[in-house]
Structure 1
């Protein structure tokens, strides 16, 4: 019997700087805040899914250093099963995050470290874990070849596949054809299709193009405009679920993807799973940080109940 979620991705230590603007080249400015915490898209998604109640296994690579200790402690606390090689000759990933203190928006530089060496062989080594899962999730922070091999193994085994194409890059039709669900944000959808995505109607056109290019169902996350779920037979715009003042949008996409995967693994239909992911993301942006901002299942259920009662 299939169960749980396998996620391929990277961990990075997030060094988040809060300021009124980014400095220019050669300029130094004073910031208003700093925080060091766990991040990385795959790791964030794993934490989001696990806290939402899903059994999660995470595949990655780490160095042997303090940031690796941070990662292993995070995953232990979240109840995540870890399949992670540690390379003493490399380092655990790190990210610079600029947070606009006025809007909460962000700009990010990621250095994957040891996770840049994740290879198709790593996915082959964990074929049994992938093949026995109900959901396989990956992004594009580790090498594309590894992501593709994971998707191929999952697809061959009849496992539902989710690709969050971030950071965005051109993808062949053969890669998109491996994706039961493709989950870009607006800018990623624009890069993949060459079409503008600034409105819901434009998102519909981009989703149609992505399906023509080989993807299965497409979910475009639209920031404060919610998310668009689109297939060849259905189109649903899911609005944002507000849980309070927006503090930090850095991990919102990861929160959504983790929640969406957890809901699918639980047996929810895709539209309800999109709503579940939107609720999880709506809570996460009211808190600072990425993985630390992911809510518990009780918090998610409480917001869903409150939204229904409005």
Structure 2
């Protein structure tokens, strides 16, 4: 195991320098006694629960080790969350964002939002009825529709991205990321990139795009499964084609009998009672007014994108850059993702 992998949570969170900064920022001396605990589940960046006599906050920072170009930009996350604070999209309040002077790398601290983050299993006694599961699914898709209905100019995000030609640039970007991170040839991934490049549909709308919208990036209310308290993990957010978000979200939404798309993203929606993908699409289209004729392209793009993400996760895990988390060999999953994408385009 590498020295990086054995670094303590306190070291990775930079508590020696972070603690006095939090005291100054909040005016609460209790933050001088802060402790840090790595929150498992993060596959890209590192997330820490900060606990002190003054309360709890959350720290987000990139993984250790060498980073791919344009990846893990914590200040983008902080910017978009700050911009959306007054919008219908629920986000945690940013307490402090730092460009690297504080703990030696870009990071931010945000409030901790109470609620359930749902990964491989529903919490005991939560969303146990078909009605509650349907409301959970509808809250999930309604929150995405709400995000895509926000005017970027009205919330101060004009210039946050280059929306024209977004999907085409996404194909190029993730192709470059694949070339930077792959450890061996996977012809199916290369073929999927080629097909996507040759079949980019016209963009019918521009919106704020989350970039990684999944059920486990939402915080659901402790008492009401039909309410999303916060949307997390805005690292890949920008301005672009909203259907890329929709295609990505639908890729992870599994029906009963369907396996998870990846071991990195366990599912609960394969249990009875959750809305079907068709129901989610109907609700989204009604809320946004968008037509979904080209959605297969965007779902195929999602498969390509997540195959590349999985390769990056595997690399960082192997190099000990994920705070000791080990995600194993993902080669077979990357191949399966590429093949599933090829079936769509």
TM-score, normalization by structure 2 = 0.29
Q: Where is the strand percentage greater, Structure 1 or Structure 2?
A: 1
Larger radius of gyration: 2
TM-score, normalization by structure 1 = 0.31
